[in-house]
Structures are given as C-alpha cells and as structure tokens.
Chains A and B, each alone.
Chain A
Amino acid sequence: MLKRTALFAAHQNLGGKLIDFGGWEMPVQYTGIVEEHLAVRKAAGVFDISHMGEVTVSGADAAGFLNRILTNDIRKLSPGLGQYTLMCNERGGAIDDLYAYQLSEGVYLLIINASRIGPDVAWLQARAAEFTGELRLTDASHNYSAVAVQGPRVKDFINAVVPGASVSARRVNAVTDLKKNEIGGFHFEHGSLLVSRTGYTGEDGFEIVGGDEAILRVWNKILEAGAPFGIKPCGLGARDTLRTEVCFPLYGHELDEETTPIEAALGRFVSLDKGDFTGGPALAAQNAAGVRKKLIALKMTGASAPPRPGYAIYCGNIKIGVVTSGTPSPSLGVGVGMGYVQPEFTMPGRNIEIEIRGRLTLAAVTPKPIYKKT
C-alpha cells in the first residue's frame, strides 16, 4: 500500500496523475509538465513536498553533534537561518543531502529526502548513541506535511496566505521580509507554520512546513491567492525538470553512498577546516589527490532526442562517463542533463557525445546552472 500525503484528495480533485514515487502516491503532473514548469519560471507554482522527512535535533550539544555528522559548518548558522549540507559515511560517500535550519539556540530542524528517511534516521541514531553530549533526536516526519510555492510572482501573494509577523526563529514583520535561507515561525489560523525562503527550482519562493490540516489550508489558500498571478499546482515531473535546469542534485541520481560531495561538485558545502566530522579525512584526501569522476552539466548541441539517466557519455570513441539526469528543457527547448565523467573532460564548451539508442549524438559540457534567469 502506497503512502498518501494529507493533500492526496486535493491532488485527485485537481486531476493530478498519480504515480509511485519511492513508496508515496504522488502527482507527477496535473495539466502537463511543460505548462507547470513554465508557470514556475514565469509566474508561480505550488508543489506537495509532504513526503520529505523532518528530523529535530536539540539540546545543549546539538550543534557540536551536527558538526561532526554534517559536511557544512553548522556554526555559520544563527537562529532563523538554514544551510544546504550533506551527511557522509566514513568513505565520504553521501548518505543524504539535506537542509539544516537553526530554529533557536540549541534547536535544529533537518529536512531530508523522502527516500532516505530510513537510512538517515538509523545513521543519526547510531551516531547519537556514541555521542556523550546532551542531545535529543526525533524523527518528526509523520507529524509534518509541507508545500513549496515557487516562482517570481510568489512574493506578490504569499503575505495574504500566511499573514502577520513571525513569532519564532527569524523575526520578521511579514513572510516576504525573510531573506534567502531564512526561516520563521508564524501563527496560522489555529496552529503554526514554519516558512523558509528556499526551494528546489532556481526561482524565488518559499517552503512551508506544518501539521496536516494547516498545510491543506495553506495549499488551498495558495491556489486561491495565487490564481490572479497564474499559479498552477505542479507535480514531481516539473519539479525534476526545474531542478535539472539549475543543476540541483537529486539523491539517487547525482548522489549515492559511493559518490562524494567533491565528485558531485558540491565542495563549497564541505567545510574541511571546521574540525573532525564523519567522512572528513576521506574528503580531504580526495580534495588533495583529485577525483576519479566529476559531475558536469551537459546540453545537446542540436535538435535531438534528449539525454536520459543511464545513457553513456563519449568523447571521440572513448566512453568517459554516464548521464545521471536528463530531460528536454522546457525553458531552453533543447535536451539537457548532468552526468559523471573522467575529470579531464569537465571543461565547459568541450564537445562530447551522448549514446542515444546506439547512436553517438553531439552535446557539449555546459556551465552550471544550465538555465540562468535573464
């Protein structure tokens, strides 16, 4: 039996096409991936992200614990601020990529991938068991639903959806006063919400976490308040094409336990000089010695079939790597993707070929992000 989010009936009513996504019955699209994608780039779109996991870590030594487990430096955070970070094994392989927010002194919220809730929580609990400091660790995934509302027009209606000043984390007079990566707690009807200025699309927008009933109300209010601005409900299909265009990694594609953040070109989220952390020595060694594969962005050179995950990447007649994400780009009208290649082939502009149904098809290594706002 697939798991359903609190918004399941809403997806059905909106005509969402539902698929199995890592054990969750989620909408892949409502009216069409291209239409939804372009709505987010030009106006606004709202996504159900309730399947994602939430873990709270609190206590006097919570920061010290997290700094030994996560790659980014948690000391860069202050109450109301979040950061992208990774959790690695001893080999430096990524257990997950996640967002860590500091809600208040000694209180942290981790937002983790739906498909990784099991492995992440098991890993965190095992590390916590070895840890001697004061710490409380809770998998709160079942208690929360969440939506992401993304696009250049969101700032024009989000204050009508979640009105008023924040009451916890970053103190602001209105949701739109939050800056990128900031998070605030807001009263909402009879409950409360956490709202952060973050997302997975490359557009301005917010992610909103709360209880099931509050999030259902938020979802409906977003669709109402966003209607004059052209908002569309968006499925996982558009979420994938949007994140691919801006080169955000997706766990299971660009990241896995055998792939390091250095290889994934996420070195700026690895603080090698912050002190001991799991995977740190392996990552430092790799950083010094060089990698055997590196993530590139790629773009097909002409009108061709799009690249797809698993397709081989060639240079000349030599196989140099493999595509990890690939799709037609609704914004650019050409096939785009990401993939791992041998490190000597990563220079933007280099011509490469993608093997598509037995034919080598011309592409080029392209600068990240593939799509840039003009």
Chain B
Amino acid sequence: MSNIPTDLKYTKSHEWVRLDGDTVTVGITDHAQAELTDIVFVELPAIGRAVKAGEACAVVESVKTASDIYSPVSGEIVEQNKPVTDKPDLVNTEPYAGGWFFKIKLSNPAELNALLAPNDYEKQIGG
C-alpha cells in the first residue's frame, strides 16, 4: 500500500507537487519509487531553465531502466535538490522529503487546477 500524503497534488505520470506561495516543489510518488525500485542515478534540470507543463526535464535511472520525469507545471527552475544527485536512494527511502527533485516558480498558477487530488491519484494507481 503506497503512501499518498493528503496535502499534495499529483500528476498521472506519478510526480507530486507541494505548493508554497508562488513556488512548487516536485518529486515522484511513493508508488513510483516502489515501481522503479533501486534508484541509482538522478539528473536534474539546470537552475534558470524554463519548463512547460508536461515537459520531460529530469531523469531517474533504476538498475533496469532510465525514466523521464515531467514538469507538472510551467515556470522557471529556481532550485535543485543537490543531495539527491549524490544519494539517489533518497528517492526510494524518503520520496516526499529528502528525495525531492526541483522547485519551480510558477508562470501560470491556473495549471495547478489540472493536477490530481490525492484521492484521484489513489484511484489511478488502483490503491
């Protein structure tokens, strides 16, 4: 049974989004990390990069495969989680805390309305 915190929003592609003012923090869900298993490498977007909602902008690699991470919203990358590139297993051990990926300054806050509520995400993954 995977953990789906109720204070976050979600995407169909298994990212989570935490809103703080005009900035969001993005990571991947507990369900996603469990499916990917042992994460061995994380590649993050450069600070200052403009991203669009749905754009592939980071990569996680498990032993078996490389998977794209999609930006849930449009905006500018303002911070990346350096520790997760040094210790990729943080994504497995604490997906909603130390395993976050990057922060985006929103350019279109209305896009937040298109994200999934926790119970909708839970339905999607068959939880």
Query: Given the known A-B contacts A32-B37, A33-B37, A305-B41, are A328 and B59 also in contact in the complex, defined by CB atoms under 8 Å?
Result: no
- Give Cα A304–Cα B40 distance, bound, in whole angstroms: 10
- Give Cα A130–Cα B90 distance, bound, in whole angstroms: 61
B59 and A305 form a contact (CB under 8 A): yes
Task: Judge if B64 is at the interface, Cβ distance under 8 Å.
Answer: yes
- Give Cα A32–Cα B65 distance, bound, in whole angstroms: 14
Q: Chain A contacts of B40 at CB under 8 A?
A: 306, 328
B66 and A305 form a contact (CB under 8 A): yes
Task: Judge if A34 is at the interface, Cβ distance under 8 Å.
Answer: yes
Residue-by-residue, is B40-76 near A (CB-CB < 8 Å gives 1, otherwise 0)? 1101000000000000000101111110000000000
Task: Judge if A237 is at the interface, Cβ distance under 8 Å.
Answer: yes
Q: Chain B contacts of A32 at CB under 8 A?
A: 37-38
A306 and B61 form a contact (CB under 8 A): yes
- Give Cα A328–Cα B41 distance, bound, in whole angstroms: 9
B43 and A33 form a contact (CB under 8 A): no
Task: Judge if A41 is at the interface, Cβ distance under 8 Å.
Answer: no
- Give Cα A327–Cα B63 distance, bound, in whole angstroms: 6
Task: Judge if A154 is at the interface, Cβ distance under 8 Å.
Answer: no
Q: Chain B contacts of A33 at CB under 8 A?
A: 37-38, 62-64
- Give Cα A327–Cα B61 distance, bound, in whole angstroms: 10
Task: Judge if A280 is at the interface, Cβ distance under 8 Å.
Answer: no
Q: Chain B contacts of A35 at CB under 8 A?
A: 38
Q: Chain B contacts of A166 at CB under 8 A?
A: none
A34 and B38 form a contact (CB under 8 A): yes
Q: Chain A contacts of B62 at CB under 8 A?
A: 33
Within 8 A of B (CB), among A215-242: 237, 241
- Give Cα A54–Cα B63 distance, bound, in whole angstroms: 30
Within 8 A of B (CB), among A321-374: 327-328, 330, 357
Query: Given the known A-B contacts A32-B37, A32-B38, A306-B40, are A330 and B63 also in contact in the complex, defined by CB atoms under 8 Å?
Result: yes
A28 and B59 form a contact (CB under 8 A): no
Q: Chain A contacts of B66 at CB under 8 A?
A: 305, 308
- Of A28, A34, A328, A357, the most chain B CB neighbours within 10 A belong to A328
A28 and B41 form a contact (CB under 8 A): no
**Nearest CB of chain A from residue B86's CB, rounded to whole Å:** 8
Task: Judge if A102 is at the interface, Cβ distance under 8 Å.
Answer: no
Q: Chain A contacts of B43 at CB under 8 A?
A: 305, 357
A305 and B61 form a contact (CB under 8 A): yes
- Give Cα A35–Cα B43 distance, bound, in whole angstroms: 23
* CB<8 Å pairs between A and B, sample of 13: A29-B37, A32-B38, A33-B37, A34-B63, A35-B38, A237-B63, A305-B41, A305-B59, A308-B65, A308-B66, A327-B63, A328-B40, A328-B61
